[in-house]
Structure 1
Amino acid sequence: MTQNQPIKKPTLALVIPSLTPGGAERVFSNIANHLANRYNIYIFTLYKDLIFYDLHPSIKVNYCLEEYRSNVNRLTSLKIHFQLFSRLKRKVSDINADLILSFTTTANFYTVILSKILNIPSIISERIHPKYALNKAWQILVRHSYKYTTILVVQTEEIKNYFKRSLKDNKLKIIENPLSEHLISKKNAALKRSNSILSIGRLESQKNQELLLRAFSKLNHNDWELLIIGSGSLLDYYKELSYTLKIESQVSFLGAIKDVSPFLNQEGIFVLTSNFEGSPNALIEAMYFEMPCISTDCPSGPNELIVNNHNGILIPTNDEQKLIDELNRLMNNSDLRNQLGRAASVSVNRFMPDIALKKWEDLIENTLK
């Protein structure tokens, strides 16, 4: 090598189903942006769709199939999987990737097989609790296939314990979700909070916003409103439900919003009603912004974030009456809201982006050695 010849940067293939709005997609984008100055980054989405999050200009994005197809028969599903894997294999081979990093179950499954075929290391990350999110067939497939990855990254101790039965401990790493640098820069705790309840998440059954709508309809606080940020297949159903419950004038469905900092700065209470999670980004962000938070004690994540009645409130999953009781308690006590919000913010300092992103950087560097 001559003295003036630049050192070749390693090439990373990053794989995810899509870059549409979502917690996993946001973290994935943050990691890609953080690594872009050190590595050649190629992102491969399984499907062509909206790229919701801003990416470093040097990152190259490609996709495997034009559209996502649901409700297909088993034979068609197998054909789609074969197409996806074949195209992903060709694209990753073309860039001579030194390592593959993937997020979410389907992308992880392809990545493990592909890394063995191409003889390169893989880092995969499960973003949700497989016991609750996947059917039995996929759980078996995941446990068997994930054994062959170089490293599996999870977000919580509970999910790590789930995989301990099938993976060696040296293959399991916990890296918690980093807060967004963009959000951190926009925190303004001095703003006066309004009489409003905020929910952020995809409008899907997993997030169970129906529980919040029904509980809200039974509160005796006509001066409060409910704001729901997110998009999804249940939007029309939830809008119709709000009319049925006669709360449509107090409920706003705001769609997917890239910058949620104005809402985190000014709304009064944050509520997470999920049936299961991986590690809920929206809850971490609300806690950082000093919002008093109520969350279901679902698997997994919330009970590793919230100490009940110290820095937030935990309720059983799908417990409408408990949610009503705790909302009434917070709405009637501004001192308690302030106390919980302050304690929440202090408790999530470990999610600062420099800490989590450095863990990803070190993990990739060590895996490439």
Structure 2
Amino acid sequence: MRIVIPIHSFEPGGVERTGLNLAAEWQRAGEDVVVVLGRDAGATRPTAPQLNYVTRPEPIATHWWETPWMIWCLFLWLRSNRADVLFCAGNTYGIVCVMMKLLLGRRCPPVIAKMSNDLERREMPALGRRFYHLWLRIQGRHFDLVVGMAEPMRDEIAEFMAVPQNRITVIHDPSLTGPQFARLSRMERPARRSDGMHVVSIGRLWSQKNYGVLLQAFAQVRRPADRLTIVGEGPERPRLERLVAELGIADAVDLPGHVHDTAPLLEQGDIFALSSDYEGVPAVIIEALAAAMPIVTTDCSRSMASLVGHGKHGLLVRVGDVAQFADKLDAAREFVVCAPSTRAVAEQFVLDRAASTYLAAMHELSDRDDASAHKVRPDLPARKSSRA
């Protein structure tokens, strides 16, 4: 079975990392996996799995219009090559896959789409939220199978995308490889340090992550020996650096940029913090659960309450509420988690389990599909990049 996956680039991101890890597992299982790549560049390129990546020369730099470029690249490839299943790795790629349905019609392979973000989007203005929900319903009409990353997403998909239950499945998001889970689950949580707490957060420096809330909350409850490390890179860096200076906490905050191996930080940290406006099932929360870290997080997705065990594994905060975030951050100094319980939650999100479940769903989709309507010119070879 040939599985085709559109990926913008090797820039760090949970959707892309998980998509490529799944692709590598499917390839190891004997499937023919093709990654249509927008740009053969990015910080994670040296560590990306060895897959069949296909690219086109960029006429100009495409970083700022990567979605139209991806639509064009994927359309040209699918128009001339056979594909059995098109995998939409996350919400970011929803428009790309909908456009393939519109442009290719019955020649488009069946689409299995993973919903990687919150669908309700309570932080949006009412009018914007209405249009967003309309867009979700449009996607729901075009995707052959919609995947939720945790059980609470099943009803969310049905409600906001108007997808019938027979086209919804739940596959726990494969946030961790087996070796990653084993490494994190071996970590011994240190006793609360008397010399202060180390708060760790990991994610792109994007507006979605709302790190301003975390910085302001940390500034309110900071004690002399406390530290905050925010790992990630992105366009919000200049604004965040200005805010750090304005709050007078520059001596206690570290913004190291992209870090390939974050496990040592999770081991050294005392509390994991997430201040996002919206998420799906964040891989960083699964990593923190595997490492048995106390968590302070905004209630930024329908799945978050269950992930933190409704208060047993972490503390929930209203989205955007600086004062409440500060209170919970301070309370987390004394918060103790049950490591076996948090790791049992994290173990549901290990790669090999999800990869085989996805493959079963893809084979069922492909078997149901009328081959003559979807497999185009199988004699034409894929055009490989230098990383193929």
Same-fold status (TM-score > 0.5): yes
Unaligned runs of 5+ in 2: 368-388
Structure 1 position 186 matched with structure 2 position 188? no
Deviations 1:93-118 (A, max 9, x none): 33312221122322232343356342
CA pair 308-137 structure 1, distance change in 2 beyond 3 A: closer
Q: For 1:318 and 1:58, how far apart are their aligned partners in 2?
A: 40
Aligned AA (1:19): F
When structure 1 is superposed on structure 2, of 153-162 and 251-260 the one drifting more is: 153-162
Deviations 1:168-203 (A, max 9, x none): 211111212113224224324236476310011111
Identity between Structure 1 and Structure 2 (%) = 21
More RCO (CA 8 Å, sep 6+)? 2
Aligned AA (1:99): V
Q: For 2:228 and 2:77, how far apart are their aligned partners in 1?
A: 45
Indicate if the aligned counterparts of 2:5 and 2:34 stay in contact, CA closer than 8 A. yes
Query: Which residue of 159, 169, 176 maps to 2:165?
Result: 169
Q: For 2:326 and 2:339, how far apart are their aligned partners in 1?
A: 19
Corresponding residue of 1:68: 63
Indicate if the aligned counterparts of 2:37 and 2:53 stay in contact, CA closer than 8 A. no
Q: How far apart are residue 281 of structure 1 and its match? A: 0.9
TM-score normalized by the length of structure 1: 0.85
Corresponding residue of 2:116: 127
Q: For 2:348 and 2:257, how far apart are their aligned partners in 1?
A: 30
What stretches of structure 1 move > 6 A for 4+ residues in a row?
none
Corresponding residue of 1:73: none
Indicate if the aligned counterparts of 2:175 and 2:286 stay in contact, CA closer than 8 A. yes
Corresponding residue of 1:277: 279
When structure 1 is superposed on structure 2, of 167-176 and 143-152 the one drifting more is: 143-152
Aligned pairs (5 A) from 1:1-369: 10-37=1-28, 38-50=30-42, 52=44, 54-62=47-55, 65=58, 66-69=61-64, 81=68, 84-103=70-89, 104=91, 105-113=94-102, 116-132=105-121, 136-165=130-159, 166-181=162-177, 182-187=179-184, 188-190=186-188, 192=190, 195-331=197-333, 333=334, 336-337=335-336, 339-341=337-339, 343-369=341-367
Aligned AA (1:97): A
Aligned AA (2:166): N
Q: For 1:152 and 1:361, how far apart are their aligned partners in 2?
A: 14
Q: For 1:191 and 1:129, how far apart are their aligned partners in 2?
A: 31
CA pair 273-86 structure 1, distance change in 2 beyond 3 A: closer
Q: For 2:218 and 2:206, how far apart are their aligned partners in 1?
A: 18
Q: How far apart are residue 164 of structure 1 and its match? A: 1.6
Indicate if the aligned counterparts of 1:20 and 1:49 stay in contact, CA closer than 8 A. yes
Q: Secondary structure at the match of 1:360?
A: helix
Indicate if the aligned counterparts of 1:315 and 1:322 stay in contact, CA closer than 8 A. yes
Aligned AA (2:331): R
Q: How far apart are residue 158 of structure 1 and its match? A: 4.7
Q: Secondary structure at the match of 1:152?
A: strand
Q: For 1:200 and 1:291, how far apart are their aligned partners in 2?
A: 13
TM-score normalized by the length of structure 2: 0.81
Indicate if the aligned counterparts of 2:10 and 2:43 stay in contact, CA closer than 8 A. yes
Q: How far apart are residue 341 of structure 1 and its match? A: 4.9
Indicate if the aligned counterparts of 1:204 and 1:232 stay in contact, CA closer than 8 A. yes
Q: For 1:39 and 1:167, how far apart are their aligned partners in 2?
A: 28
CA pair 360-243 structure 1, distance change in 2 beyond 3 A: same
CA pair 227-157 structure 1, distance change in 2 beyond 3 A: same
Q: How far apart are residue 51 of structure 1 and its match? A: 6.1
Q: For 1:229 and 1:341, how far apart are their aligned partners in 2?
A: 24
Indicate if the aligned counterparts of 2:221 and 2:326 stay in contact, CA closer than 8 A. yes
Indicate if the aligned counterparts of 2:227 and 2:252 stay in contact, CA closer than 8 A. yes
Indicate if the aligned counterparts of 1:191 and 1:265 stay in contact, CA closer than 8 A. yes
How much is the aligned-residue C-alpha RMSD, in angstroms?
Answer: 2.6
Deviations 1:286-341 (A, max 9, x none): 1111111111112233112012331111121122222222222222x2xx33x355
Aligned AA (2:267): N
Indicate if the aligned counterparts of 1:156 and 1:304 stay in contact, CA closer than 8 A. no
Unaligned runs of 5+ in 1: 1-9, 71-76
Indicate if the aligned counterparts of 2:98 and 2:142 stay in contact, CA closer than 8 A. no
CA pair 152-64 structure 1, distance change in 2 beyond 3 A: farther
